[in-house]
Amino acid sequence: MKIEAGCLKCLRDKEVKRAEEIKDSVKRAEYLQKVDAVLQKEGTLTAPEYLAAFYQVFDGVYGALPSYKELKRKYNQLMLEQENNIYRRILSAEDSLKAAIQAAQAGNYIDFIAMDGVSGDKLTELLSNFCVTNIDLAVYDRFCKELHGAKRLVYITDNCGEIVIDKLLIREIKKYAPQIDITVLTRGREVGNDATVEDAVQTGLDKEAYVIGNGTDVAGTCIHLLPEKVRKRVLEADIIISKGQGNYETLSDCGENVYYLFLCKCELFMKKFHAEYLEPIFCCERNGI
């Protein structure tokens, strides 16, 4: 997804805010100078790639960013405690596969990178109302038809916590189309609160499908950066399910058969999809659906 000038400004503003938390004015100036040097590559990187570059600069100037590991464990456990209740509601729905997709969209709220904070009350609200959210029925019908004929599916995860609901959606896909071989792709290294193989193991996602890291610390999925083994799985997949805005930004227009699931969390996406803040999106890469 080609980055817009407004998005570049937003990215820089966030780094300015990050730099303001550092008392050393000399290092602060050095950091922002290097950030601006990265931004000179305007139009050549996606937003998640810019963020990864900023993290590397920050590490070189200040040292490593604070770890999200404890926060991730907390939200993984929180969602594990709600797993049975969520799954009961999925199974009680008229269409359990559709309900699982809607639940997976709601779980995408757990995002400490795209948003300034995550509200427990808002998360509860979204998870309580997932069955009544709108879903594009044309996209859903196409998705169901393609599942029947598919042999390989790659499910690209996004954040901690929500991967518990991803697990439930994968379970429903396996029931709907048991012939499909499913690969789950997580981040290859720690980046914010994004899910890694470690999170997948904590939540039992590895019990539902084969899990592999993507080999990078980009908060998205850049096909050209993937190790050959991982890239091969992605390119040979009949269907790709992509969670979150970062994966959309890095995979958009890649030419593969990608179905995107996410909540709109910024003005750029609200404008692009003519959607409200936190409105769920289910769209397909091919044919502009």
Higher-confidence residue of 19 and 190: namely 190
**Structure confidence by residue, pLDDT tens digits, 205-254:** 999 999 999 999 999 999 999 999 999 999 999 999 999 999 999 999 99
Whether the predicted pLDDT of 2 surpasses 70: no
Average pLDDT over residues 80-97: 98
How confident is the prediction for the chain on average, in pLDDT? Answer: 92
pTM of the model: 0.93
Question: CB-based contacts of 82: which residues, under 8 Å, 6+ apart?
Answer: 127, 164
Q: How is residue 195 written in tokens?
A: 């899910």
CA 9 to each of CA 3, 13, 16, 114, 289: distance values in angstroms, whole numbers, following the listed order: 10, 6, 10, 15, 29
pLDDT for 4 equals 63
Report whether pLDDT(139) > 70: yes
Q: What are 101-137's pLDDT values in tens digits?
A: 999 999 999 999 888 789 999 999 999 999 998 899 9
pLDDT score of 5: 61
| pLDDT band, residue 182 (cuts 50/70/90) | very high
* pLDDT at position 43: 62
Please determine, for residue 21, whether its predicted confidence score (pLDDT) is greater than 90. no
**What is the DSSP track for 130-190?**
GGGS---HHHHHHHHHHHHH-SEEEEE--BTTHHHHHHHHHHHHHHH-TT-EEEEEEBSS-
Judge whether residue 40 has pLDDT over 90.
no
Give the count of beta carbons closer than 10 Å to the beta carbon of residue 232. Answer: 11
* 289 vs 67, higher pLDDT: 67
Residue 93: other Cβ atoms inside 10 A: 15
- The C-alpha atoms of residue 25 and residue 281 are separated, in whole angstroms, by 42
Question: Which architecture does CATH list for 69-288?
Answer: 3-Layer(aba) Sandwich (3.40)
Residue percentage of the chain with pLDDT more than 90: 74
pLDDT of residue 11: 83
Q: Is the pLDDT of residue 60 over 80?
A: yes
Q: Please report which helix (H) or strand (E) contains residue 6, including its range.
A: helix 5-20
The two structure tokens encoding residue 269 = 């996406």
Do the strands 181-186 and 152-156 form a parallel or antiparallel pair, or are they unpaired? parallel
Contact 143, 226 (CB under 8 A): no
**Lowest mean pLDDT across 5-14, 94-103, 272-281:** 5-14
